[in-house]
Structure 1
Amino acid sequence: MARPWETEFGAEGGLYRRLRAACASDWEAYTWHPFVRAIADGTLPLAAFRRYLIQDYLFLIHFARAKALAVFKAEGIQAMREKTEGIAAILSETTMHLRYCAEWGIPQDEVLATPEAAETVSYTRYVIDRGLAGDILDLEVALAPCTVGYAEVALRIENDPKRRREDNPYESWIATYIAPGYQALARAAAARIDTLGASHGGEARFPMLSAIFSEAARLEARFWQMGLDAARGATPEYEKVHR
């Protein structure tokens, strides 16, 4: 019997589910990473979450740039309008993210002064590079592991028997991605990939699209790992460079 998060996004036989299935081990390593499991049971060290929060803000800046590229790559005025609305939403989210960081004891000045981690650089530049080199389908496939993956992560957490619901310090983070609005956004992103796959030769291009999707999933897992490394006292790559 299929689990809820396996059938919630994309159509059966559609491009999105095929991409997900083709990188099953990488996808599992990303969506059920030890970082995610520790959020579910509330045991994630604060140092790990703080590192993640700061880098996620820096990630959002480049995510907005990738969405701006999607406006340029879009093939119709309605799609351009939708992408423009998405950019506005992300830019608004950056402001909310700074407030959220403050709630966790991270002042805005600290967030803005922190350099991008190597994991942030490698992931964001990969997505933008795929968009620059390819068409709208390449870009949407590179973006999907983030947009749809976070919705799946939230569903997995909600269905986890070890899920801690009372006094979980990460409850507000979980609530953001399990919210109906975010889940709907993720379903729309998966459906868009199915549609673009049908109109942009997804079948013939599957090997390359699968490689893009798989690499983005691996980069997402490394982003989680970056947070865990902070809790273990590992020196971030950007600090090594600046020493």
Structure 2
Amino acid sequence: MSSYGQTFAAWRAGAEGHWRAYTHHPFVEGLGDGTLPRAAYLHYLVQDYSFLIHFSRAWALAVTKAETPEEMRFAARTLDSLLNDEIALHVATCAREGLSEDDVFAAAEREENLAYTRYVLDAGHSGDFLDLLAALAPCVMGYGEIGARLGREAGETPYREWIDTYAGADNQRVCQEVGALIDGAVLRRLGPRPQTSPRWANIQNRFTTATRLEVRFWDMGLTP
């Protein structure tokens, strides 16, 4: 998705087959054609609520890792959107199934969820702003790419609300803004030829590892 920025396009290409395994996972295809079992979807939503709580913590950490007021403001806006908008979809959907937010918050995290969320947080704690962005990007951009594709291709499906959320103009704008944030952060820290930097391979590995963990997250969703 070139509209998500030059750095993302390079990271996406560098992740090779892992990216397609993530964005075309059987769980994703089940959302698009409506064959995903409802129990699997609800299990995913419960785990994704926990994921988004930790994802919010990671964006809060980004505020402290940022080097400019603009980076700080962006991270703070993203944190607010996660806590007050995206999580609302999970809460509302689970509520229709008889699960309160307290029930969802108290649910035990699966190992796949623990591995992914703690990896992202560790990337931020042990690295800098760019390390953290590379670990965060697969979720932001991947869901945007999945939503855009399913929005075009999916027919009648009970998961249209999920698809429309990530295919929608608001989310697509967020993906473009995050892409611009990443491009600016890379230029500021690595210069105009970032792929020649000694850091590039490690940052690419951050992105690829997080993408692999996204695949495992979808695998988890299929095994309630």
Match of 1:77 among 63, 69, 72: 69
Unaligned runs of 5+ residues in structure 1 are: 1-5, 231-243
Give the structure 1 partner of residue 168 of structure 2: 179
* One-letter amino acid of the structure 2 residue matched with residue 173 of structure 1: W
Alignment of 1:133-144 (within 5 A): 133-144=126-137
Partner of 1:147: 140
- The Cα of 1:124 is off from its aligned counterpart by 0.5
Displacement of 1:208 in angstroms is 0.5
Pairwise CA RMSD: 1.4
Residue of structure 2 equivalent to 1:113: 106
User: For 1:206, which of 200, 206, 210 is the aligned residue?
Assistant: 200
Asked if 2 retains the 8 angstrom alpha-carbon contact of 1:16 and 1:191, the reply is no
Aligned to 1:9: 4
Q: 2:102 & 2:57 partners in 1: Cα distance?
A: 22
Aligned to 2:90: 97
What runs of 5+ residues in structure 2 fail to find an aligned partner? Answer: none
For residues 136-192 of structure 1, the C-alpha deviation after alignment (integer angstroms, 9 at most, x for no partner) is 1111111000011100011221333xx22x3x1100000100110100000111122
**What amino acid is aligned across from residue 103 of structure 2 in structure 1?**
E
Partner Cα separation in structure 2 for residue 136 and residue 226 of structure 1? 29
Q: Cα offset for 1:96?
A: 4.6
Tell me which structure has the larger Cα radius of gyration: 1
**Matches of 1:209 and 1:227 in 2, distance apart?**
27
Deviations 1:199-235 (A, max 9, x none): 21132121101111001001111111111112xxxxx
Q: CA contact under 8 A between 1:50 and 1:106: conserved in structure 2?
A: no
Q: Are the counterparts in 2 of residues 47 and 227 from structure 1 also a CA contact under 8 Å? A: no
TM-score of the pair, normalised by structure 1: 0.85
Instruction: Provide the rounded CA distance (Å) in 2 between the counterparts of 1:151 and 1:188.
Output: 12
Among candidates 11, 30, 54, match of residue 19 of structure 1? 11
Counterpart CA distance in 1 for 2:92 and 2:150 is 24
